[in-house]
Structure 1
Amino acid sequence: MLTYDVQIWGIRKRANRPKPYMLRWRVGAQAHSKSYALKAQADGRRAELLAALRNREQFDTTTGLPSSELHELKSPTWYEHARAYVAMKWPTASAKHRASIADALATVTPALVTDMRGAPKPRVLRTALYAWAFRLCLDAEGQWQPRTQVEAVPEHIGAALDWIARKSTKVTDLNTPSVVRSALQALSLKIDGKAAAANTVNRKVPVFSNALRYAVERELLVKVPLDKVDWKAPEVDDEIDFRYVPGAGLAKRLVLGVAKQGNRGRHLKAFFGCLYYAAARPAEATALALPDCKLPESGWGELVLARSTPRVGSAWTDTGESFDSRGLKRRARNATRSVPIPPVLVSMLREHIEEFGVAEDGRLFRAAQGGHLLSKEYGDVWRAARLAVVTEAEAATPLAEKPYSLRHAGVSLWLMSGVAPAEVARRAGHSIAVLFRFYAKVIHGLQQQANEKIERALMEDREDRTD
């Protein structure tokens, strides 16, 4: 029980004792004492108790400790808390987010230790944390459990986990600025000690911050301690470098060039057409099914994008498959996005269905063996088509280096064609803010056209008034 009823007495010296200096105090009706070899030690401890009393801290009647010390005494280690955080987040997190959480925690946890004596090799420790400590599996009853409780743990992995469990700092230690700084520094580096990419750091730091907020929720910390250090995540320039985004002519040649890459190229021509003419994300195009397509014999059609199937690895999905079936990016699971598609893409898709049919589940695009289309498979076809289409000098640059360039090209085409940014954002599945951040140069380049339109309207208005 906690109480403010505390009395701290003077130090008593007892002769012929190994620790002659006794400090005595009372909490409620319970007396407490502690003996020291040196008077300075007893004086120091008495000063700590008096400071807690002046700060209006309550004391615990059982232990005699101030509430702050009792809180620290009961604090779990960071490693224990991180595992609790994973268990809390896992059931509702997407497979990709689960892997991201494990990645961030496996990066920061080795930095939050009391010392490095007897530490395992860094890569062994990372594997132990990423693939074992911060990963859950379904047990025989279909319940999520830590992997370490479901599967047999290899000896070297078990030794690494035992070491981190013994050496991990307490959560309350994160109230110390130097400890917070060491954690943030770890998140800024790769395992080889080199600086991590800005996007990587900005992906990991929010996981660490969320884990700290969970510590506040569990009443392990009073507040998130990140503001105790002067540290900023590296700035990320989200704006697309349009020097390397293919223009309309090159984008068309690249899509057509894919069809010349053998049977797989012909199968994937319409897939890449969706990336350009519908500005679909690759994971959205791989999930595209026949019921999602409105393909009239002439004129414009429509794609209703409803699913995304990113490949994240079987370790992180509910089903044990390497693909995670989920809703659209940053949308509710049942949300859809309709995208009008021009006649050229309608024709591509109709020809594709006529030549290749669809999978049993209705998917238009699949791997050579009939399963989900792999990024490696369509990436290989894309690289071959790119080398066949661009010049040698262009091939040495990042121009159209990745299939995602077609999506950038498609969105840019819409903007330059005069489509309202709000409609472009809707079709692309962006927010207005994201659209302006990524495509700032394109939108800025359209200002002159907008100014000319406004000027013509003003001139017409002035002439009408003159008449």
Structure 2
Amino acid sequence: MKDITYDVRVYKTEVYKGKKVTTYTVRWKTADKPWKRPFRRAAQADTFRGKLQGAASEGEAFSLLTGEPVSWGRTDSPQMGWYDFAVSYVDMKWKDASAKHRAGIAYALSLATFAMLNGATRPCSDQEVRTALRRWGFNTRERKKCSERVSGTLAWVARNSLPVSSLSTPAMARALLDAATSRLDGKRAAASTSRKHRVILSNAMAHAVEMKLLSKNPIPDLKWKVPKTTSQVDRRSVINPEQARKLLEAVRTQKPSGPLLMPFFAVLYFAGLRPEEAVNLRKDDMILPDAPDTWGEFYLTGATPDAGKEWTDSGQQRDERGLKHRPEGEGRPVPCAPELVAILRDHLKSFGTGPDGRVFFGVEGKVLATSTINRIWGKARQLALSPEEYASPLARRPYDLRHACLSTWLNAGVSPKQVAEWAGNSVEVLLRTYAKCLVGQDEISMRRISEVLGQGHSAQSAI
């Protein structure tokens, strides 16, 4: 049989101690072809090396295509290399995925791919390979537009990818998961990123089972310590009304964009809109009474998250989407406080509307850019806050204005069910997220406990 050999040599495990991460690399050779497999733990490397030695000692044939014993990949299933499979998975998900999710899938798979390469010498740096995969190989719309150099890099990855069937061994599945949940410097990725990438890998493996490339999904069977994370808002980031008005004034004074953007930030603070919802706000979505001290209303129907033009169907920087946590086409009413009504009426009178009737737009009349929003907000914090406040988490991101708004509503005694409806969240998520921002609840609880203890003490004294 071709593509097999009995000439196998297994070398001593190499240990590389970096500043933050130690890597254990198993190296072996089949005929004249070298192979290597990195592991994060010594025990994993020892187990894998022992299996290779055992197979070689028993006289098993090794595949020249995978570097592994032929018996490990023996299956009745069709064979497909990892890169070709990953591309097919990306193409399958592309149509129904949002632009941001497309980018997320590409990032996770580009990290995972390094665990599925054989030991061949790479034609370029790891960074260049990763960029080629993330920006072009795992992008359905852009793949055919890549340069000749990138095309050559992707072809090399395809030639040197291990077969998907190799993931039927726990060691390979573990290496895949470790690669997908690690940062570029080798440290574990943030908890939210690790969770997301594990889900993406598990979904990809489910697709491999559907394609009959694997008999079962290996990811759920791996013991994996769930990274600790919190979705609760840090109450130190929540501003009070006086601080909010100082920050809005600091935005307004910045020329030339400040006067255009002050109402945008006001909408985040007074109405609790997400930034992508505020960017998409149109004049027809608002009811702004001209009577003083009268509440208005927004009726939101969509959002435009900033996903990057290479990931959107339109080729625009922002992706046109429905509302978060809402079925396509379903809207959401949001109250508009009298102070915000006055701000928006003045804004429309002074500047009118921008592209497609949008209320907020850039100085040149284009769709509002995230870079402009962040730049103006960063400068406003410098102008309005003390050095100590500026160094703290206080209103560090524009999104913190939404947190301040919802916290204000809850602390004002508005029903959580009503706040959740206005905010576009479930009641459960709302209370879990803003649990630490409900001011005064701990004092009320302690006063009630004191009252009970005091009653018991009085009764005992009377006896």
Q: What TM-score bracket applies, with the shorter chain setting the length?
A: 0.7 to 0.9
Deviations 1:167-207 (A, max 9, x none): 21211211111111111211222223233222222222211
Aligned to 1:394: 389
Deviations 1:76-114 (A, max 9, x none): 122111111111111111111111111111111121123
- Give runs of aligned pairs for residues 85-96 of structure 1, distance below 5 A: 85-96=89-100
TM-score, normalised by the number of residues in structure 2 = 0.77
Is the contact made by 2:237 and 2:394 (CA closer than 8 Å) also made in structure 1? yes
From 76, 80, 83, the equivalent of 2:84 is: 80
Could you tell me how far 1:450 is from its partner in structure 2? 8.6
TM-score, normalised by the number of residues in structure 1 = 0.77
Is the contact made by 1:416 and 1:446 (CA closer than 8 Å) also made in structure 2? no
Aligned to 1:106: 110
Could you tell me how far 1:248 is from its partner in structure 2? 2.4
- State the distance in 1 between where 2:59 and 2:440 align: 69
Distance 1:192 1:373, change over 3 A: same
Deviations 1:295-327 (A, max 9, x none): 012311001111111122111111111111111
Deviations 1:410-446 (A, max 9, x none): 0100110011111111111112222122112134853
1:221 alignment partner AA: L
Aligned to 2:249: 256
Aligned to 1:424: 419
Aligned to 1:69: 74
Could you tell me how far 1:341 is from its partner in structure 2? 1.3
Aligned to 1:358: 353
Is the contact made by 1:71 and 1:220 (CA closer than 8 Å) also made in structure 2? no
Could you tell me how far 1:223 is from its partner in structure 2? 2.2
Deviations 1:53-72 (A, max 9, x none): xxxxxxxxxxxx99x83425
Aligned to 2:269: 276
- State the distance in 1 between where 2:355 and 2:391 align: 41
Aligned to 1:204: 197
2:96 alignment partner AA: T
From 127, 130, 153, the equivalent of 1:123 is: 127
3-state SS of 2:173 partner: helix
Is the contact made by 2:355 and 2:366 (CA closer than 8 Å) also made in structure 1? no
3-state SS of 1:225 partner: coil
Distance 1:444 1:390, change over 3 A: closer
Aligned to 1:442: 437
Aligned to 1:29: none
Aligned residues: 385
- State the distance in 2 between where 1:96 and 1:238 align: 20
Could you tell me how far 1:374 is from its partner in structure 2? 0.6
Max Rg structure: 1
Distance 1:452 1:87, change over 3 A: same
Deviations 1:134-193 (A, max 9, x none): 1112xxxxxxxxx44x33x43432232122112212112111111111112112222232
Given the alignment of the two structures, is residue 410 of structure 1 paired with residue 405 of structure 2, yes or no? yes
- State the distance in 2 between where 1:294 and 1:450 align: 41
Could you tell me how far 1:404 is from its partner in structure 2? 0.9
Given the alignment of the two structures, is residue 186 of structure 1 paired with residue 191 of structure 2, yes or no? no
Overall identity of the aligned pairs, in %? 39
Could you tell me how far 1:44 is from its partner in structure 2? 7.5
Aligned to 1:18: none
Aligned to 2:208: 215
Is the contact made by 1:283 and 1:310 (CA closer than 8 Å) also made in structure 2? yes
Bigger drift between 113-122 and 81-90 goes to: 113-122
Bigger drift between 336-345 and 107-116 goes to: 107-116
Gaps of 5+ in 2: 1-54, 61-69, 452-463
Aligned to 1:319: 314
Gaps of 5+ in 1: 1-39, 46-64, 138-146, 457-467
Given the alignment of the two structures, is residue 176 of structure 1 paired with residue 169 of structure 2, yes or no? yes
3-state SS of 2:95 partner: helix
Aligned to 2:47: none
1:384 alignment partner AA: K
Distance 1:369 1:111, change over 3 A: same
1:387 alignment partner AA: Q
